[in-house]
């Protein structure tokens, strides 16, 4: 129910899973890292936006927006 506002589809299956390796030693500033190249290359994940699933989600969402901006 909490994810409903963030996606248009319906959830058909859900399984909780602890992100064992989502514990970066240090965080980077900003939600993503956009590499200036011929094609958009975006690095994203919990390293950039916080070592929790929320950080990974926020970073992925920001990455998708950055790619879309490069393509327009």
Q: What are phi and psi of 62, to 5 degrees?
A: -65, -40
Query: 34-55: per-residue pLDDT in tens?
Result: 776 677 778 888 777 777 788 8
Please tell me the distance from the alpha carbon of residue 49 to that of residue 30, in angstroms, as a whole number: 7
Q: Which residues pair with 41 in a beta bridge?
A: 35
Q: What percent of the chain shows pLDDT beyond 90?
A: 0
Q: How far is Cα 29 from Cα 59, in angstroms, rounded to an integer?
A: 11
pTM of the shown model: 0.53
d(CA 47, CA 23): 8
């Amino acid at each position: 129910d909490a994810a409903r506002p963030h996606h248009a589809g319906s959830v058909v299956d859900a399984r909780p899973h602890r992100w064992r390796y989502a514990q970066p030693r240090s965080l980077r500033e900003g939600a993503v890292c956009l590499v200036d190249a011929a094609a958009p290359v975006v690095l994203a994940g919990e390293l950039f936006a916080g070592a929790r699933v929320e950080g990974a989600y926020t970073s992925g969402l920001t990455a998708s927006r950055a790619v879309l901006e490069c393509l327009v």
